[in-house]
Structure 1
Amino acid sequence: MPELPEVEVTRRSFADRIAGARIVSVQLGKPLRWALGCDASALVGRTVLCVTRRGKYLLVHLDAGVLLLHLGMSGSLQFAPVLPPRGGHDHFELGTSRGCLRLHDPRRFGAVVFADSLDDPRALKLLERLGVEPLEAGFDPLLFYRALRLRRSSIKQVLLAGNTVVGVGNIYASEALFMAGIRPTTRADRLSKLRAARLHAAIVEVLQRAVALGGSTLRDFSSAEGQSGYFQLDARVYGREGLPCRVCETPIRGIRQGQRSTFFCPQCQKP
């Protein structure tokens, strides 16, 4: 599933190029997770102002309204002056004066939703429960610690939930916990202020490094320019079960948490 770094990499790969473009056509394929929320033809003639991100949602701000895009489990965006004819897994296409933006999503868990504004109930339903953005100034170490003190679940599950801090997906949670020296099964409310501060710093560092490396391409993720990510080649624990820890050479362990794979070093990461 594309996580925050992949979504941010995607945003950066086309945001500047589509800004100022006028929408000239909209084509829909098979239904996605949620309906568009307006007649597609009503978008024609509107202008793209900018593209921002909230968690794993891309927000395409128009001169009237906003499109909220989610890549789901297997989605990716392409943006180019000209694209090949649409295939069976291409379910949304925005033709503009500066190029074509296309959502490719084999599993159709992605979505494109129109809202009149970010205060529209349709937008609030998707965005209002998201946690703090980890790559923005509002992600404060002390506030993070205080939020963890209220959570009795394992720290890995708290990170994945997205309502304390948003966008720390499975790969990046495993990597940040390793960097902070915290066992993923440790209860969130039992972390000391010092350990919470270490985790806060690790989350920021891991996500920044992931964005710099273009995200992670485990199956078919690519940016809107068709570029793959390389963070997975830099992983310390994720996907390395049975292999020696890069720090202490203890074999990396793999367990299941909430139906997701978790990887950690039993020597370097303490309960």
Structure 2
Amino acid sequence: MPELPEVETTKTSLEPLLGQTVQGILVRNGQLRWPIPEDIALLKGQKLLQLYRRSKYIIARFEKHSMLWHLGMSGSFRICHSEDELRKHDHLIIQFDQLQLRYHDPRRFGCIVWLNDENQKKLLDPLGPEPLTTDFNADDLFEKLKTKKIGIKIAIMDNHIVVGVGNIYATESLFNLGIHPAQPAHSLSFDQIEKLVSEIKRILQQAITLGGSTLRDYSNAMGENGYFQQTLLAYGRAGEMCVNCETTLENIKLGQRASVFCPHCQPFKKASV
């Protein structure tokens, strides 16, 4: 699933469309996670004014309407020319002045919906702070976690606590700090929380700089792959040697997600009741 760095990179790669006007829209398959709005043709004649990201959503602001786009499990946007060959799972095509935007999604778990009061309240308002802003800080995170007995990895992947810290980036951040992913969140000291906030910010920013992670078929709207996966020290390396101590990396399931860690570098410390 594309995570925050991949969504941020996608958003940036869509910027060539800014200032262009929608000339036509073709819905080839509107049955995504939620159906593509039947009145999406209202965008025709509207100029794309702004693109920004909130958590894993891309918000596209046109002259009269705004849309909320989510890539789901396998979605991707691609900027094309009208003569480029269509792919089987190109479900939505938006023709701009010079360029064409296509939404491709084999598993159809993404969404293309209006940003209205209902979706703002349901999808955006419950979200926690953005991890790359000052709203995500040690004081706030320590306060949120001080009574939580769930594993720290599950906690930092909770979008109500902080958005966008997906499996890859949570795994790498905890590995780099020597914190066991199942360590009860409330047992971390303020100093550990402070370092964790800094490391999450560093990891996410590095991933954005490297264009995100291409583990399967992710690419940005220009068809470019990400390169952060080449720096991974823990994620996806279960059974391999730890780069720090040569202990075999192990894998446990936390919240239905694979969690790779080093039993030597990330020891589990029993928390006091």
Fold agreement, TM-score > 0.5: yes
- Spell out, residue by residue over 1:19-48, the C-alpha distance to the aligned partner (whole angstroms, 9 max, x if none): 111111111122111123351221101111
The equivalent residue for 2:205 is 208
Offset of residue 151 of structure 1: 2.4
Supply the distance in 1 between the matched residues of 2:89 and 2:243 (Cα, whole angstroms). 40
Residues 1:189 and 2:186 aligned together: yes
Structure 2 counterpart of 1:108: 108
Aligned to 2:70: 70
Provide the residue aligned with 1:228 in structure 2.
Answer: 225
Amino acid at match of 1:8: E
CA distance in 1, matches of 2:149, 2:54: 26
Counterpart-to-counterpart distance in 1, 2:57 and 2:83? 23
Question: Aligned partners of 1:45 and 1:90: how far apart in 2?
Answer: 22
Q: State the partner residue of 2:28.
A: 29
Contact 2:43 2:62 in 1 (8 A): no
Cα RMSD over matched residues?
A: 1.4
Unaligned runs of 5+ in 2: 269-273
In 1, are the aligned partners of 2:53 and 2:59 still within 8 Å (CA)? yes
Written as runs of structure 1 = structure 2, the 5 A alignment for 1:165-184 is 165-184=162-181
Q: Partner residue of 2:266? A: 269
| Rounded Cα–Cα distance in structure 2 between residues aligned with 1:38 and 1:138 | 37
**What is the rounded CA distance, in whole Å, between the counterparts of 2:66 and 2:143 in structure 1?**
34
Distance 1:39 1:198 in 2: 48
Equivalence for 2:89? 89
Give the deviation of 1:250 after TM superposition.
1.3
Quote the Cα distance in structure 1 between the aligned partners of 2:83 and 2:121: 33
Pairing partner for 1:126 from 123, 136, 140: 123
CA contact (8 A) 1:50 1:61 kept: yes
Ranges in structure 1 where 5+ consecutive residues have no aligned partner: none
CA contact (8 A) 2:137 2:194 kept: no
Q: In the superposition, relative to structure 1, how do residues 26 and 151 fare at CA in structure 2: closer, same or farther (>3 Å)? A: farther
Deviation at 1:186, TM superposition (A): 0.7
SS of 1:262's partner is strand
Give CA-to-partner distance per residue, 1:38-66, whole Å, 9 cap, x none: 51221101111011000000011111121
TM-score normalised to the size of structure 1?
Answer: 0.94
How far apart in 2 are the matches of 1:148 and 1:99?
47
Q: If the length of structure 2 is used for normalisation, what is the TM-score? A: 0.94
Does the 8 A contact of 1:23 with 1:96 survive in 2?
yes
Question: In the aligned structure 1, how far is the partner of 2:105 from the partner of 2:267?
Answer: 39
Is the Cα–Cα contact under 8 Å of residues 38 and 114 in structure 1 kept in the other structure? Answer: no
Q: Distance in 2 between matches of 1:3 and 1:246?
A: 25
Measure how far apart 1:263 and its partner are.
Answer: 0.4
Q: CA deviation at 1:83?
A: 5.6
**Do the aligned residues in 2 keep the contact of 1:6 with 1:211 (CA within 8 Å)?**
yes
Question: Does the 8 Å CA contact 1:23/1:94 hold for their aligned counterparts?
Answer: yes
Q: Percent identity at matched positions? A: 42
Q: Which amino acid counterpart does residue 183 of structure 1 have in structure 2?
A: H
